[in-house]
Amino acid sequence: MNLEQLRSFVEVARLGHFTRASESLHLAQPSLSRQISTLERELGAELFQRARGNISLTAAGETLLPRAQRMLAEAESIREEMGELAGLRRGRVRLGAPPTLCISLVAEALSAFRARHPGVDLHLTESGSRLLVEQLAVGAVDIALITESDAQPVSGVSLTRTPLLAEELVVVSSASAPALTRDEVISLDLLATLPLIAFDHSYSLRATTDAAFRAAGLTPTMVLEGAEMDAVLRFVERGVGVAVVPAMVLLDRPELRSARLAHPSMTRTISLAHRSDVTPALAVAEMRRAIVSTAAEVARRDPAITSLQ
């Protein structure tokens, strides 16, 4: 049984005539008759009573007709739905990203994607890179932005990772306060003497800065510990202290001023990852292109961010 046979059956039942049905279907009458005969053989029952050109449904035909109509309607619905997915009028993207990227790169990429494809459902998982790699492994997210230094592999799962950006960690201070240095570059020695707002220990940024101070034999002057990204930036804006953050979080934040760290500088690599054994859906592939394009644009706007594409 196939859809063409069912479509022929429904049309003959609707018109009550083989010739008119063949004309309606743009099908030669012998071909139409063969389709109906084949369908009857497969079902093991006659569907039409044929008497002197008069066509009527048998009991089997009456039973089949509403089901055939539902099957054809469902097939058309599927065809339309697949067409909407192919045209990105519908779809779903489950994206994962660390908090520092959600307020910068992701916000810009999602805005651009949404403007082009408003019918696609977007789901964002905001978490650290370690957890995001685990989410990719179990299929909870389709793609994820991860920081390579913080993303450990998951046993038995292969990820395709595309490096996008190399991003410096910079020192931020309030734009309303005097600049930290004249040349917009600050040494780690000087940073250790400034009032530092430190992130919660769950942030990889905290581990990176702590390690840098230890390696240099320095003890930072912390005025506040344990804050989340949004709170840290707000405290810095109000002059409570300075903080070490990824350069990208300064996008569209005129209340903050940044200074690049002198050698040894601190950097992180941002990559876009998905499972190697899963072919991304069309909407996911389009989101990937939007992120790659946005990352390249971001790199052109800040010397502390380098495109790796």
pLDDT by residue (tens digit) across 179-234? Answer: 888 888 899 999 999 999 998 887 778 888 898 999 999 999 999 998 888 899 99
3-class DSSP state of 39:
helix
Q: Give this prediction's pTM.
A: 0.69
Q: Which residue is associated with the tokens 């052109």?
A: 300
- Band the pLDDT of 292: cuts 50, 70, 90: very high
3-84 CATH, one of 3.40.50.740, 3.20.20.70, 1.10.10.10, 3.40.1800.10: 1.10.10.10
pLDDT in tens, 69-79: 988 888 877 77
β-strand pairing of 185-186 with 305-307: unpaired
CA angle 145, 119, 141 (to 5 degrees): 30
Q: Any alpha helices (H) in 168-281, and if so which ranges?
A: 188-193, 204-215, 229-237
Predicted local confidence at residue 234, as pLDDT = 92
More confident residue, 99 or 265: 99
Cα(170)–Cα(260) distance, integer angstroms: 5
Predicted local confidence at residue 151, as pLDDT = 47
- Does residue 112 contact residue 82 with C-beta atoms inside 8 Å? no
Cα(188)–Cα(200) distance, integer angstroms: 20
- Report the pLDDT averaged over residues 41-55: 86
92-164+270-302 CATH, one of 3.40.190.10, 3.10.20.30, 3.40.50.2030, 3.40.50.300: 3.40.190.10
- Does residue 275 contact residue 160 with C-beta atoms inside 8 Å? yes
Which amino acid does the sequence have at 69?
A: Q
What is the share, in percent, of the chain residues with pLDDT greater than 90? Answer: 45
Residue 289 has pLDDT above 50, yes or no: yes
Residue 155 has pLDDT above 70, yes or no: no
Cα(289)–Cα(309) distance, integer angstroms: 12
Which residues make up the CATH 1.10.10.10 domain(s) of the chain?
3-84
Mean pLDDT across the chain, nearest whole number? 87
- Does residue 25 contact residue 8 with C-beta atoms inside 8 Å? yes
Which residues make up the CATH 3.40.190.10 domain(s) of the chain?
92-164+270-302, 167-267
CA angle 277, 282, 284 (to 5 degrees): 70
- Report the pLDDT averaged over residues 15-24: 89
pLDDT in tens, 100-136: 898 889 999 999 999 988 888 899 999 888 889 888 8
Predicted local confidence at residue 157, as pLDDT = 66
CATH class of 167-267: alpha beta
Cα(135)–Cα(142) distance, integer angstroms: 9
C-alpha distances in Å from residue 125, one per residue of 90, 138, 192, 290, 292: 20, 14, 34, 18, 19
What is the share, in percent, of the chain residues with pLDDT greater than 70? Answer: 95
Residue 149 has pLDDT above 60, yes or no: no
Cα(159)–Cα(274) distance, integer angstroms: 6
Predicted local confidence at residue 57, as pLDDT = 93
3-class DSSP state of 253:
coil
